[in-house]
Chain A
Amino acid sequence: MHDDVFAARRGVQMRRMLRQHPGAALGVLFILVLLLASLFAPLPYDPMGIDGGATLRSPGGEHWFGTDGAGGDVFSRVIYAARVDLSLALAGTVLSLVVGVLLGLAASSKGKGSERLVRGLDAFQAFPLLILALALVSLSGNKLYMVVVAIALINVPRFMRLLRSEVLSLRESRFIEAATATGASPRRIIFRHLLPNVWGIVLVQTSLTVANAIVVIASLSFLGIGVSPPTPSWGSMIRDGAGNMSSGEWWIAGFAGLAVVLCVLAFNQLADAIGDRTARTYR
């Protein structure tokens, strides 16, 4: 579709956006470092390993973030958890994005089909979706791909509604009428005119969805669903560490919780920056 004979210069946009929003830049940097470290960095200890002789050590030179009740190194486990937690969150977001955008487009066309789709959506959203997701994952026997499906279940309706409302208002605009008058096919109108104009707001929603997915995954594994031990995940670490909190060993749940908070903050910052940029350039 991109047989552009002319394109506006916009290569510097991403860089300028990050410069104007240091929070977002810091967030992106944090996520990248965390992800790369979880995938490639040599960790000080085996994240799955246990050491009966070194349980519940407090943070220090030997164990930066201390150790948990089984003697696992909290630092190694927190970093390693990003591998599963972030990948699942990103995969779930991509699935939500693709399905949500396609269904949203379908729901914004004219005709009976789209009306039915919207009705269906209303009915579907009447369910408590988080509980539905929970049931789905545990019934499947804790299959990881079901976590991805669960995230999509919660977020597809949001993408759908967003896309539908944006596209419906765009369809009334003069430049869409101009494209029709020029003889553009419906396909061309969608890909050349509608989608590029909703892209900014879809990206904002995508970033927010990653943040939401991280929380959902943490909630699931906090309840013992989804990622199962010994594979570390932030949610299960928070649960394990919760019992130690009362006796003063804060670092297990503390550092895992911090990882969740920082990731969510990073993606929210990114969403803000994208939203700001979209609004400023084109309105």
Chain B
Amino acid sequence: MSLVEIEDVHKVFPARQRGGEPVHALKGVSLHVNEGETLAVIGESGSGKSTLGRVALRLIDVDSGAVRIDGKDLGAMDANTLRRQRADMQLVFQEPFESLNPRMAIGAIVAEPLQIHQPQLGTTEIRRQVLSTLEHVGLPQSFADRLPGELSGGQQQRVGIARAIISRPRFVVLDEPTSSLDLSIRAQILALLAELQREYSMAYLFVSHDMHTVEWVSDRIAVMYLGEIVETKPTRELFDAPEHPYTQTLLSARLSPDPREPHAYKAFAGHKTVRDAVENQEPA
């Protein structure tokens, strides 16, 4: 049995403005994440990949379908059970600064999951674990008393990661965790995430739009296009033999940093983004 199973999930968001169209973000999405593996979800803006990441943690309720972790249906849990379950499943955000309470000390932010889920540990033990976790993600212990605004983007993301791993979850959703970071910082964060995964055998659902990152980080890849998963395959296989025309288009748009490997972008007929669909409507 897989650690996380998502089965035929549908989600429609009501129209933002009066008279607008409701957005069909997920149209019957199914996937599973095995213990200790990284499943990447790749897609372009509006493909529904971020919604999928939140649905996997039941931060967004689904319209139909089921999300199970360890065989337990998240949708059937009452509020208290779900909160307890969250010790085992965490989230790392795309925007490191916005994801940290600007008034809380770094130490307090990282301590929060333990205070919620293991208050019996006591202040001294929580303190000890927070400091060692900070060190583990590559931050000096002295950062515990600082505020998020005093840190750089890369350091803020390390704090976000420390918060996510301190309760030793088995499943972590990483929502574009490196896309707002500079290239060299990005590499450091990716390396850290890989190291932590080996150490604690966590399963990652890695949401991204960057093919280079995904190719490096994932065991398997699910390709999303307009609210559907069009192809799921082991990473190597997907890059060597993409089947769906959209996957082929996506791969052809990948720009290698090695000039000896030229690309040839190849559009596929009927390629649409959500915004294009909006544009093609008749003006009111």
Contacts and interface: CB of A to CB of B under 8 A. Distances in A.
Contacts of B98: 173-175
A8 B87 contact: no
Contacts, number: 94
A171 B167 CA distance: 24
B57 A181 contact: yes
B101 interface: yes
Contacts of A8: 104-105, 145-147
Nearest to A6: B107
B56 to A, nearest CB: 11
A206 to B, nearest CB: 18
Interface string B78-105: 0000011111001101010011111111
B258 to A, nearest CB: 36
A178 B116 contact: no
B130 interface: yes
Contacts of B102: 175, 197, 282
A20 to B, nearest CB: 19
B116 A7 contact: no
Interface string A134-146: 0000000000000
B6 interface: no
Contacts of B90: 181-182
B116 A5 contact: no
A180 B113 CA distance: 10
A19 interface: no
B84 A183 contact: yes
A95 to B, nearest CB: 26
A177 B87 CA distance: 15
Interface in A197-238: 197
A181 B173 CA distance: 10
A181 B86 contact: yes
A4 B101 CA distance: 14
Contacts of A178: 91, 93, 99-100, 160, 163
B90 to A, nearest CB: 7
Size band of the interface chain B makes with A: 35 or more
Contacts of A196: 101, 103-104
A183 B99 contact: no
Nearest to A194: B101
A17 B104 CA distance: 20
B144 interface: yes
A266 to B, nearest CB: 27
Interface in A240-283: 281-282
A193 interface: yes
B111 A174 contact: no
A129 B148 CA distance: 43
B139 to A, nearest CB: 13
B145 A6 contact: yes
Contact of B112 (A9, A173, A177, A184): A184
Contacts of B24: none
A179 interface: yes
Given A175-B100, A183-B86, A7 B108 contact: yes
Given A6-B108, A9-B145, A179-B112, A193 B101 contact: yes
Contact of B113 (A3, A174, A182): A182
Interface string B165-180: 0010000000000000
Contacts of B167: 182
A5 B111 contact: yes
Interface in B24-56: none
Contacts of B93: 174, 177-178
B274 to A, nearest CB: 21
A3 B106 contact: no
8 contacts: A5-B130, A175-B98, A178-B163, A179-B101, A181-B59, A183-B86, A184-B116, A196-B104
Given A3-B115, A182-B116, 19 more contacts: A3-B123, A5-B123, A5-B130, A6-B106, A7-B105, A175-B98, A177-B93, A178-B91, A178-B100, A179-B112, A181-B86, A182-B113, A182-B163, A183-B84, A188-B116, A192-B104, A193-B101, A193-B104, A281-B149
Listed from nearest, the 6 A-B pairs whose CB atoms lie closest are A6-B107, A183-B86, A174-B98, A181-B91, A8-B105, A6-B105
